[in-house]
Amino acid sequence: MFIVKDYGVAVLLCIITMLCWGSWGNTQKMASKNWRFELFYWDYVLGMVLLSLLSALTLGSMGSEGRSFVEDLKQADGTNIMSALVGGVVFNAGNILLSASIAIAGMSVAFPVGVGIALVLGVVINYMASQNGNPLFLFFGVGLVVLAIILNALAYRAKKSEGDISSATKGLWLAIAAGVLMAFFYRFIAASMDLENFVSPEIGKMTPYTAFFVFSIGVLLSNFLFNSILIKRPFVGTPTSYKAYFAGSLRNHMTGILGGAIWGVGNALNLIAAGKAGAAISYGLGQGATLVAALWGVFIWKEFKDAQPGVNGKLMLMFLFFILGIASIIWAGMN
């Protein structure tokens, strides 16, 4: 299988992860004009599962180092399989709330608040389990991200001060709940892998490719419960149905599948990079997606176009703190 052996390459893969995780939300925005996010989300999950299988059968099965996908899956211990499945369930619970927040508040709020919280808590959780990287720079970077999250929330509240406060509050709370849940999913996947040795992983542990596939199955299975509930009892708007899903156009379905595949590419590369960079740094850099998504939301989707000058100042400071925080996290892995 393909294995990363250089820290610089690992950082590059994490940056690609950042771009993928911060950009998949564009597909939801593209589909939202005539397609409910609950229906979009089913295709998103299917895209993720297909990408995980593709990566396992290609990068996860090539070369002479490590175990191939099929061999690895056969020898995986039940405890580790369950850990990756649980990671998928936890992720799905958080990510579906994040999608709801995008639908209500937009990418420039849902990602910085939701994924920003996931970054902060996730780095702490993963560092406690596997202490790779300089803690001073790591947690200084995390602190800067916290400041960026606060500034984003203040900017959004100020933007909505003359509008729908109830909607603003709901969008923020959904993002906060999503962030708390998503902070824990990565630890379950990491625990199912041997992060110290991808070349000759411990018996019973899984390679990142196998762990990602099992994780995606957990997402798929849990979606029958989580998304079925939201289809009948949505956070906003009227209930929809599976009949509406199957009546959707090919373009709508393909947009959702593309979104899931984009996220999946990022996740596959991030798990591969974790063997060299460590779980805390790999996860933290990947969740720099908050900055990418905020840029899309502010400059492409114009989600703050009617904001007052004071709000724009908060947004600029938010971007600055995110950039400095991400740079500090990268530096932590080099010292």
- pLDDT digits over 162-186, tens only? 445 566 678 889 999 999 999 999 9
d(CA 13, CA 91): 21
Task: Tell me the domain boundaries of the chain.
Answer: 7-332
Report the predicted TM-score, pTM, of the whole model to 2 decimal places: 0.88
- The two tokens of residue 277 are 């960079």
Mean pLDDT over all residues of the chain?
90
CB 90 within 8 A of CB 98: no
In the chain, what percentage of residues exceed pLDDT 90?
A: 57
- The two tokens of residue 266 are 């990022």
- pLDDT digits over 15-45, tens only? 999 999 999 999 999 998 889 999 999 999 9
Q: Average of pLDDT values for 266-284?
A: 90
Rg (CA), the chain: 19
Q: What are the start-end ranges of the H helices in 160-249? A: 165-191, 208-232, 242-246
Report residue 252: phi and psi, to 5°: -60, -45
